[in-house]
Chains A and B, each alone.
Chain A
Amino acid sequence: MRFDRALLHLYPISFRREYGAELTALFELRTRQAGRGLPMLALVIGTVFDVTANAAAAHWDVLRHDLRYTFRTLARSPGFALTAILVTALGIGANTAAFSVADFVLIRPLPFEDPERLVKLWERPPGGGRFELSPPNFNDYKAQLHSFAAIGAFHGISVNLVGQGEPQRLSGTALTGEVLPMLGVKPAVGRAFSDADDRSGYDGGVILSYGLWQRNFGGDAAVLGAKIVLDGEPREVIGVMPKDFHFPNAESALWTLMPQVERENTERDNNWFQGIARLKPGVSRAAANAEMNVIAASLAERFPTENKGIGAAVIALRDELSTQSELMLLALCGAAMCVLLIACANLANLLIARSLVRRRELDVRLALGAGRERLVRQLMTESLVIAAIGGSLGIVIAVVTVPLLSRLVPNSLPLADTPTVDVRVLFVAALVSALTGIAFGVFPALRASGSGDLSGLREGSRSGGGRRARLRSALVVVEVMASVVLLVSSGLLLRALSRVEGTDPGFRADGVVTMRTALPRPQYDSNAVRDRFYRRVLDGVRALPGAQSAAYVSFLPMTFGGGIFPIEAGGIPSNGADGRNASLRYATPAYFSALGIPLRAGRDLEETDELNRPMVAVVSESFAKKYFPGQNAVGQRFKFSPMPGDVNIVGVVGDIKVRGLERASEPQMYLSYKQQPGSWFPFYMPKDLVIRASVPMAQLVPAVRRIIHDADPTLPISSVRSMTELVSDQTASRAVQVRVIGAFAIVAFFLAAVGIHGLLAFSVSQRKHEIGVRMALGAQQGQIVGMVVRQGAVLALCGVIPGIALAYAAGRGMQSLLFGVEPGDAATFVAAAALCVLMTLAGSLMPVLRAVRVAPATVFRSE
């Protein structure tokens, strides 16, 4: 191809067709005049500039023209324009939102240096699941592992910050010096901890999160070097981490160095160190996993009492989320895809119907000499305009709704707690919008007009084309199918949600107010000081009008799953890994009545159960049944490691869901708060206040705050909430998911009904003649109604049957989310089927009415 002809391709085809020959002739002439050498070069360069500039302008002319035309045609059929835009917006919005959250949680690289080489180190107990590492095991692993460039440990801490206004309770993380350099994130201000700090033994510094820095210090850089008081101990602020740094999750507001005494802890069966490591370049996770398991085996040999049967696991930091959260997000994405599928099918149907209506217009324009290429371009512009408006609207929907989905972000990941819409997801959304528009806008219209026989111009032509009618029916069937899948899925999840909500937690949550007052050490290391505090607060609270009972406990149910200790009972010793264990809580008397846990036998803990008296415990029913089967547990004795001496059971209470509504919980034992010697097990010092009251929370809390403040003005009060709130938090992410998928199902339901409606309405208008003839020949209205409804029912049935099969498969796929509801749950399927009947009837209603109103005379007259 010659140079100038090639350049002509930059122009719009219509322009090239019109003026290409002349432009070529002109260029030939100029070439002859220019001859060779410099003038020729000047001509070539000049032509390139001329063509590029003018081609761009010509394209712009065409675009402007097409846009004007598009807006005119869309304004002429606002119903179509609005529906098409809304359908696109819904499809794109649902998908952008769902995939943004999924991308945020599952795919987007973590905001650390080389995040794919960061791993967590775990122990695998023989019963399955995974444990944190015990400090001595961690130290042994660290000394022997060669797969990693760095290994560090951390654990969560809660500290009282005093001196910045109201005392505050903050979550933080204590870590070893390797951790922050390993993550490769530079502090926004100051410096991070390093191995040098570890070596020098300096542990008096603190690093603030950006949020805490802004909230408490107004973002003032002068905070560097300042001393803040954490748990009564002054610490020097050495740095502030950047805004988007969250480790190990969004809750951590500060970081301190782990004190030496913790690192040198020698309890090999007390697992509370989280191990984090960076793989050496070129070492795979599998290889590291294998190496760690070899070391685990040698540790099991050296320390059989604590480590027997315990393996190890190296898990990518990215994968630190439960299969449940992952499945929930995948289900959400699947549902969003169903919505997109339905939206596309609906759009395709709309556009095909429209192309049939516009057939005449297009044929007229062809007959008047418009090039097919101009028509294609025009239709493309139209589709893209619809896609662009719908897509933008969808993106707005997504941006608005994504923060509402923050409940679906698991807090086990080092991520902000609010997901954001990513540019990549937006790009894909835009692409999908454009493709949808082109695929369903241009091709059907072209096929409708492309026959070239201009049959659209012939008056009275009624043919919709058998193939096209079948395609349209198929699209409606797909819509029905996808909406059945969505209806059934949301039904199953809704049933699961109500089943989880219906689970008896073992206590009565209503009327219970809770708050946390953690007692700082070492001030509260002495029993006498602690007792005085508890007595003052509890006596004060119990005297408040409306307060029925009040108590302190180590941890409220459902807030902390740990505290599991091996139980030695009935002469059977335990190594902790054999499942003979129980969860430990220290409590004050009246804890059971405050929380409404029924006392089954024996007595409650009492004020007389003091340190110098025999050690007593109240245990749960499952504890009694497991360790003293067939016997009366009251009066029996047991031991739990590492507590020396026997514990006497004085009472049995009902079981509660310590680990949350959806998980199995270990048997429970409650020990008297007075029998926690000195600073032994400080983590278990009762800190959660439980109050059962008949007055509203808003009235009660200020009074309680005053009482606590009078008892110790430096104590922060945190986590003030009702017990019902705490229980409903258990189902919060489920509830969000059900609501979202339910909303998708409702949208799908309506879109499918609209699809059925559109197809039947079209077919009725196409068959008006036939209906007229039938009625003229004496057909009853009932027969006509039957004819239309039958067509709708066949469509619905064709969609429902495969839909049910797919829905069952989807149910099987998310079985672990269903909390025991069968994926083939009959009630759900019957309800979904009933809704489909409703959908078909609703979709058929208008067309039926139109059909029976057909007056034979008018039909014949119009022919």
Chain B
Amino acid sequence: MAYTQPDIAALIPLPPATFHILMAVAQEDRHGYAIIQDVERRTDGELRLSAGTLYRSIQRMLEQGLIDETDDRPAPEFDDERRRYYRISAFGTAVARAETRRMSRLVRMARTQGLLPERA
């Protein structure tokens, strides 16, 4: 999918849930429940996406082209036919990178102002 810099800029900053979902599907294809679990694990249980929030985010992210639905499915013994799998799109990767850059800049600025005393 062709995209431009303004397309990316239009979506930045990302809502936290969207950014977390992008991270969850960045490395491997995941279905909805797996995304919820992944986000929860990575945030040590701090962010627990509700089912409604998740699927509404997924719907919007599909429309925005941040993620794609994939037809690659795991072996039947691990699969549930009701599940649908998602992966990050090239555009989604670009947006996630842009968002990461924005946040690191923010962190750097905060550090120069003495708001972050030592390196994490």
Q: What 1/0 flags go to B30-63 for Cβ under 8 Å of A?
A: 0111001000000000000011110110111000
* Chain A residues whose C-beta falls within 8 Å of the C-beta of B59 in the assembled complex: 15, 18-19, 58, 61
- Which of B21-29, B78-86, B105-113 forms contacts with chain A? B78-86
Nearest CB of A to B18, in Å: 14
A15-B59, A29-B33, A61-B60 known; A22+B83 contact, CB < 8 A? yes
* Chain B residues whose C-beta falls within 8 Å of the C-beta of A57 in the assembled complex: 56
Which parts of A31-90 form the interface with B (CB within 8 Å)?
46-47, 50-51, 53-55, 57-58, 61
> Are the CB atoms of B82 and A19 closer together than 8 Å?
no
* Chain A residues whose C-beta falls within 8 Å of the C-beta of B36 in the assembled complex: 26
Q: Is the interface of B mostly helix, strand, loop or mixed?
A: helix
In whole angstroms, what is the CA distance A737 to B18 when docked?
64
A54-B56, A61-B60 known; A22+B50 contact, CB < 8 A? no
In whole angstroms, what is the CA distance A47 to B15 when docked?
22
Partner of A54, one of B31, B33, B52, B82: B52
* Chain A residues whose C-beta falls within 8 Å of the C-beta of B31 in the assembled complex: 22
In whole angstroms, what is the CA distance A24 to B58 when docked?
16
In whole angstroms, what is the CA distance A327 to B63 when docked?
60
> Are the CB atoms of B33 and A50 closer together than 8 Å?
no
Nearest CB of A to B102, in Å: 25
Partner of B58, one of A19, A27, A61: A19
Q: Is A368 an interface residue (CB 8 A)?
A: no
CB-nearest residue of chain A relative to B32?
A: A22
Partner of A26, one of B32, B53, B60: B32
* Chain A residues whose C-beta falls within 8 Å of the C-beta of B82 in the assembled complex: 21-22, 24-25
Q: Is the interface of A mostly helix, strand, loop or mixed?
A: helix
CB-nearest residue of chain B relative to A15?
A: B59
Total number of B residues with any Cβ neighbor in A under 8 Å: 17
Q: Is A107 an interface residue (CB 8 A)?
A: no
CB within 8 Å: A-B pair count: 49
> Are the CB atoms of A23 and B80 closer together than 8 Å?
no
Total number of A residues with any Cβ neighbor in B under 8 Å: 21
* Chain B residues whose C-beta falls within 8 Å of the C-beta of A50 in the assembled complex: 50-53
Q: What 1/0 flags go to A716-740 for Cβ under 8 Å of B?
A: 0000000000000000000000000
Partner of A58, one of B50, B56, B83: B56
* Chain A residues whose C-beta falls within 8 Å of the C-beta of B55 in the assembled complex: 15, 19, 22-23, 54
* Chain A residues whose C-beta falls within 8 Å of the C-beta of B50 in the assembled complex: 46, 50, 54
CB-nearest residue of chain B relative to A53?
A: B52
In whole angstroms, what is the CA distance A27 to B32 when docked?
12
> Are the CB atoms of A55 and B52 closer together than 8 Å?
yes
> Are the CB atoms of B56 and A26 closer together than 8 Å?
no
Partner of B51, one of A18, A21, A26: A26
* Chain A residues whose C-beta falls within 8 Å of the C-beta of B83 in the assembled complex: 22, 25
In whole angstroms, what is the CA distance A22 to B33 when docked?
9
* Chain B residues whose C-beta falls within 8 Å of the C-beta of A61 in the assembled complex: 56, 59-60
Nearest CB of B to A728, in Å: 67
* Chain A residues whose C-beta falls within 8 Å of the C-beta of B33 in the assembled complex: 25-26, 29
Nearest CB of B to A537, in Å: 85
In whole angstroms, what is the CA distance A24 to B31 when docked?
14
* Chain B residues whose C-beta falls within 8 Å of the C-beta of A26 in the assembled complex: 32-33, 36, 51
In whole angstroms, what is the CA distance A61 to B58 when docked?
13
Which parts of A317-350 form the interface with B (CB within 8 Å)?
none
Best-buried of B36, B52, B53, B80 by chain A (most CB within 10 Å): B52
In whole angstroms, what is the CA distance A112 to B60 when docked?
57
* Chain B residues whose C-beta falls within 8 Å of the C-beta of A47 in the assembled complex: 51
* Chain A residues whose C-beta falls within 8 Å of the C-beta of B84 in the assembled complex: 22
> Are the CB atoms of B52 and A51 closer together than 8 Å?
yes
Nearest CB of B to A365, in Å: 15
Best-buried of B53, B55, B80, B84 by chain A (most CB within 10 Å): B55
Nearest CB of A to B41, in Å: 15
In whole angstroms, what is the CA distance A46 to B52 when docked?
11
In whole angstroms, what is the CA distance A279 to B31 when docked?
76
In whole angstroms, what is the CA distance A27 to B50 when docked?
11
In whole angstroms, what is the CA distance A29 to B31 when docked?
14
> Are the CB atoms of B51 and A23 closer together than 8 Å?
yes
> Are the CB atoms of A27 and B51 closer together than 8 Å?
yes
* Chain B residues whose C-beta falls within 8 Å of the C-beta of A55 in the assembled complex: 52
* Chain A residues whose C-beta falls within 8 Å of the C-beta of B52 in the assembled complex: 23, 50-51, 53-55
Nearest CB of B to A4, in Å: 10
Nearest CB of B to A847, in Å: 44
CB-nearest residue of chain A relative to B54?
A: A26
CB-nearest residue of chain A relative to B62?
A: A18
In whole angstroms, what is the CA distance A25 to B80 when docked?
9
Best-buried of B33, B56, B59, B83 by chain A (most CB within 10 Å): B56
In whole angstroms, what is the CA distance A366 to B52 when docked?
27
Best-buried of B51, B53, B58 by chain A (most CB within 10 Å): B51
Nearest CB of B to A28, in Å: 10
In whole angstroms, what is the CA distance A26 to B51 when docked?
8
Nearest CB of B to A40, in Å: 16
In whole angstroms, what is the CA distance A8 to B51 when docked?
12
Which parts of B68-106 form the interface with A (CB within 8 Å)?
80, 82-84
* Chain B residues whose C-beta falls within 8 Å of the C-beta of A29 in the assembled complex: 33
In whole angstroms, what is the CA distance A50 to B49 when docked?
10
Nearest CB of A to B52, in Å: 3
Which parts of A3-25 form the interface with B (CB within 8 Å)?
15, 18-19, 21-25
CB-nearest residue of chain A relative to B60?
A: A61
Nearest CB of B to A507, in Å: 81
CB-nearest residue of chain B relative to A22?
A: B32
* Chain B residues whose C-beta falls within 8 Å of the C-beta of A51 in the assembled complex: 52
Q: Mind listing 7 A-B residue pairs with CB under 8 Å?
A: A15-B56, A19-B32, A19-B59, A21-B82, A22-B82, A25-B33, A61-B59
Return the 8 tightest CB-CB contacts between A and B, nearest first.
A54-B52, A50-B50, A21-B82, A19-B55, A50-B52, A25-B82, A26-B51, A54-B56
Chain B positions within 8 Å of A, measured between CB atoms, are 31-33, 36, 50-53, 55-56, 58-60, 80, 82-84
Chain A positions within 8 Å of B, measured between CB atoms, are 15, 18-19, 21-27, 29, 46-47, 50-51, 53-55, 57-58, 61
| New A-B contacts (19) at CB < 8 Å, excluding given A19-B32, A23-B51 | A15-B56, A18-B59, A19-B55, A22-B31, A22-B83, A22-B84, A24-B82, A25-B83, A26-B36, A29-B33, A50-B50, A50-B53, A53-B52, A54-B50, A54-B52, A55-B52, A57-B56, A58-B56, A61-B60
